[in-house]
Chains A and B, each alone.
Chain A
Amino acid sequence: MNETEIAKLERLLEKVQRPARYTGGEMNAVRKDWKQVKCTFGFCFADTYEIGMSHLGMKILYYLINQRQDALCERVFMPDADMADLMRLEGVPLFSLESRAALNHFDIVGFTLQYEMSYTNILEMLDLGRIPLFGKDRGESDPIVVAGGPCAFNPEPLAPFIDAFMIGDGEDVMHELIDVIRDGRAQGLPRLDILRNLARLEGVYVPALYTVEYNKDGTLRSFSPNDPAAPAVVRKRVVKDLSAAVYPESIPVPYTEIVHDRMVLEIMRGCTRGCRFCQAGMLYRPVRERSMQRLLYLADQLQQSTGYEEMSLSSLSAGDYTCLPQLITALMARYMDKRVGVSLPSMRIDNIVKDSLIASQQVKKSGLTIAPEAGTQRLRDVINKGVTEEDLKRSVTDAFECGWSSVKLYFMMGLPTETDEDLAGIGHLAKTVVDCYYALPKEKRSKNGVKVTVSASVFVPKPFTPFQWAAQDPIPLVHEKQEKLRQYLKLKNVHFNWHESELSMLEACVSRGDRRIGEVIYRAWKRGCRLDSWYEHFQFDQWMAAFQDCHLDPAFYAHRERPYDELLPWQFVDAGVSMAYLRRENEKALRTETTRDCRHGCNGCGLQGWGVCSFVENPPLKDQPERSALLAD
């Protein structure tokens, strides 16, 4: 920004809510001289500072890029509505926190795609950053706009706006991407040639180099490259050895409070459980653990560089980490006198080690969250969530004995094959948890009384899951089910939260959308939609109007069961898991058959030939082991 704009910004900051989120200057924020680097990367998170600063992927890539001598990375967040309006009014461009550079001054602008309902924020940020929204309208001096993250596995809804997508683990491809753009700019290559060079990188998808055709009924007819540089199939990138991969040793420490204000150790990537609704569980395959030695080193570095008083262990299923008790014990011993708390955020009930719960309590008692996901064993078998009522009872009883008094239970409603019995089962489980508390003698349980919070989200079928062909319940049916659940959960000590069915419906449309959904997103943004995931800003009617503008029917995307022979918009991406495996899993689901954890034997998900999965060697068992055997570990 120039001096006039900075002076304007200073005045804006006196008028907005929570100005501290726009000031930067945090400990460990990296400020480099723009003249000393060859490539500048504006890392955008399409939500506010409080959300974005809690995100691990951004911290990893920020650190990775700033380690390079020839490049710099600065952070850019979505301004809140009051700030965005004032910036537009006063002519202040969207800027980075480090050097307050306008977004269009960066060589590369990169978005991490964590949630489909943040896509209007991407348009808002590009617009505030003075970058043409559509890739086709960008000129030679505009930044190359890239995107990665889990939602990039179906890049099509954002295809009109993003020049290149990185699919898979960002650490693995980022250096190559920066090299190509740095060299292309240095050589004065035309934009299209730089994009072609990007398309030649494994794991990079350049939408402009592909042509899409549709059938009369709206389904995809064909999807193919229109340029020799573009591969027909884009294969995701995979970090083979997590212990050797870059991990931040220092991270910016915010002044203002953010959602997860602590240091995070990613102990493992991927999950072997194979829950059939879970997109992360499929996309982040295979499971890779970070060695304990490396983790302890990183913990020391992070503790010294941040001064944080809390550390959390992160992974899709932290309880599955091979040496979890040893790791927790070691961390406790190290940080007891430094007064650092250790918490496990996403614990699964079937393997919480009571000892580690007790250990965890020594320093910090974090909330206990359990996700049975479905109310009956039958439906849990359908979704392959290997958790039984007995597991749940044992876990919460252990937790109550250790002094916990509040438990959060997460469920989904609208899962394939769901019946009224499954909804009633959610009420039953909530009551069971309360009963477990009162079953303990008074002196063995907390005096605070028990509180059970039940959250029921609306099931959203996602790409690259066995349920990717499934229909989502229409909104009236969701409302009916929510009302039933409310009745089932009118219980003492039980509190019920539910999600906006309208937002979940749009999430279903966008997550399994094709290129035409990009036009809907654009129209919705034009109609004033932004910050959609914030209740106070969500405008469902404008979204519906945007669908009408584009002559598209949301039901086509959300509520329609897709046949196996339909060409899916994301089918050109090789995510590791094969379509054959996903189909097999979907059919097993409908037969209420479970699939074992792949630590107990390879299930042939499609990654066998990749040389990245350490469980491929496990002998493929002929028969399913008994459930009890599954739990024996």
Chain B
Amino acid sequence: MKMIVVFEKAPRLRHIGHLDLMRAMQRALRRSGLPLRYSQGFNPHILLNFAAPLSVGMPGKREIMEVPIEGEMSGEAFMEQLSKALPPDLPCLSARPVEDAHPAPMALLTAALYEARFDTAPPDLEKTVRDYLLQPEIPAIRKTKSGEKPCDLKPMIHLLRCEGDALIMALALSEKATCKPDLLLSSLFDFAKCERPRALVTRLQLLGEKDGVLSPLESL
């Protein structure tokens, strides 16, 4: 079977890159004494899949990884054992056992929920957001490995609203279409014709679709 594990990458660790985080998780899993599964081959490593890498500099409230294990065990037991092996800034929040045949989290992922918290909130942010979303199309330039591509952000924005001094965004995140929060913020403040204020962006939740509705990925 395999475990769908939800964990937090606390703000203190936001500069830890994805490869470093994977190594840290592998070591934590080794410390935990859990019945892990290893890859075949000359240099066997622990089987472990992350739903989506976090950008360097971004904390994650509810990150998801999939850990294949030998035999059966409850999510609670898994979580208890793993928690003892994790550093304080990388706590395990939940674990749910699923069958091996269950689709990988990465395959179910369609979007993510973000919060952008500004050092100083820009004036009229609510109005800016409202006007921004009234555009029939939101053209932007997406930087990819193969160069710069023009795209329309509008269908990739599932949600965009102000909450106090923060901006809450649900943006597409999948193999087919991805809008990074960075791109959206640049586009928004270009539209408002003002300088982009410094913000700490946190990924709050990974999302997938269930009956046409965006739902927490770990529940799918």
Report 11 cross-chain contacts, Cβ distance below 8 Å, ordered by A residue.
A19-B15, A20-B20, A23-B13, A23-B15, A24-B12, A29-B87, A253-B24, A256-B17, A304-B33, A307-B28, A307-B30
The answer to whether A305 has its CB under 8 Å from any CB of chain B is yes
The answer to whether A26 has its CB under 8 Å from any CB of chain B is yes
Give the A-B contact count at a CB cut-off of 8 A: 61
Distance A226 CA – B28 CA, assembled complex (angstroms): 55
Least Cβ–Cβ distance between B194 and chain A, in angstroms: 20
Could you say which residues of chain B place their CB within 8 Å of the CB of A20? 15-17, 20
Least Cβ–Cβ distance between B179 and chain A, in angstroms: 22
Add 12 more A-B contacts to A27-B27, A253-B24, A253-B27 (CB < 8 A): A11-B198, A19-B15, A20-B15, A20-B20, A24-B12, A25-B87, A27-B31, A28-B87, A255-B16, A306-B31, A308-B30, A339-B38
Nearest to B32 among chain A residues (CB) is: A307
CB <8 Å contact, B44 and A27? no
The answer to whether B26 has its CB under 8 Å from any CB of chain A is yes
The answer to whether A257 has its CB under 8 Å from any CB of chain B is yes
The answer to whether A331 has its CB under 8 Å from any CB of chain B is no
The answer to whether B89 has its CB under 8 Å from any CB of chain A is yes
Could you say which residues of chain A place their CB within 8 Å of the CB of B33? 304
Distance A253 CA – B88 CA, assembled complex (angstroms): 13
Distance A604 CA – B37 CA, assembled complex (angstroms): 57
Nearest to B88 among chain A residues (CB) is: A25
Label chain A's interface by main secondary structure. Answer: loop
CB <8 Å contact, B26 and A307? yes
CB <8 Å contact, A23 and B29? no
Could you say which residues of chain B place their CB within 8 Å of the CB of A13? 15
CB <8 Å contact, B87 and A308? no
CB <8 Å contact, A25 and B57? no
The answer to whether A14 has its CB under 8 Å from any CB of chain B is yes
Could you say which residues of chain A place their CB within 8 Å of the CB of B98? none
Could you say which residues of chain A place their CB within 8 Å of the CB of B185? none
Interchain CB contact (< 8 A) of B89 among A19, A25, A304, A338 = A25
CB <8 Å contact, A307 and B27? yes
Could you say which residues of chain A place their CB within 8 Å of the CB of B17? 20, 256
* Max chain B Cβ within 10 angstroms of own Cβ: one of A11, A23, A27, A253: A27
The answer to whether A309 has its CB under 8 Å from any CB of chain B is yes
The answer to whether B21 has its CB under 8 Å from any CB of chain A is yes
Nearest to B13 among chain A residues (CB) is: A25
Least Cβ–Cβ distance between A183 and chain B, in angstroms: 33
Interchain CB contact (< 8 A) of B20 among A25, A29, A31, A255 = A255
B residues 47-89 near A (Cβ < 8 Å) are: 57, 85-89
Distance A304 CA – B81 CA, assembled complex (angstroms): 13
- Given A307-B27, A307-B31: A23 and B85 interface contact (C-beta under 8 Å): no
CB <8 Å contact, A27 and B38? no
Least Cβ–Cβ distance between B76 and chain A, in angstroms: 22
Interchain CB contact (< 8 A) of A255 among B24, B38, B86 = B24
Interchain CB contact (< 8 A) of B31 among A14, A25, A256, A304 = A304
Nearest to A31 among chain B residues (CB) is: B88
CB <8 Å contact, A306 and B15? no
Residue interface mask A270-291, B partner, CB < 8 A = 1: 0000000000000000000000
Distance A23 CA – B198 CA, assembled complex (angstroms): 20
Distance A339 CA – B17 CA, assembled complex (angstroms): 25
Distance A414 CA – B166 CA, assembled complex (angstroms): 66
Could you say which residues of chain B place their CB within 8 Å of the CB of A256? 16-17, 20
Least Cβ–Cβ distance between A189 and chain B, in angstroms: 37
Least Cβ–Cβ distance between B39 and chain A, in angstroms: 11
CB <8 Å contact, B28 and A26? no
CB <8 Å contact, A255 and B31? no
Residue interface mask B180-215, A partner, CB < 8 A = 1: 000000000000000000100000000000000000
CB <8 Å contact, A27 and B87? yes
Least Cβ–Cβ distance between B57 and chain A, in angstroms: 6
Could you say which residues of chain B place their CB within 8 Å of the CB of A338? 30
A residues 295-345 near B (Cβ < 8 Å) are: 304-309, 338-339
Least Cβ–Cβ distance between A87 and chain B, in angstroms: 16
Distance A518 CA – B162 CA, assembled complex (angstroms): 59
Distance A304 CA – B16 CA, assembled complex (angstroms): 23
Nearest to A28 among chain B residues (CB) is: B87
Could you say which residues of chain A place their CB within 8 Å of the CB of B13? 23, 25, 255
Least Cβ–Cβ distance between B12 and chain A, in angstroms: 5
Nearest to B27 among chain A residues (CB) is: A307
The 9 closest A-B pairs by CB, nearest first: A307-B27, A307-B30, A307-B31, A19-B15, A27-B87, A25-B89, A25-B12, A255-B16, A255-B20
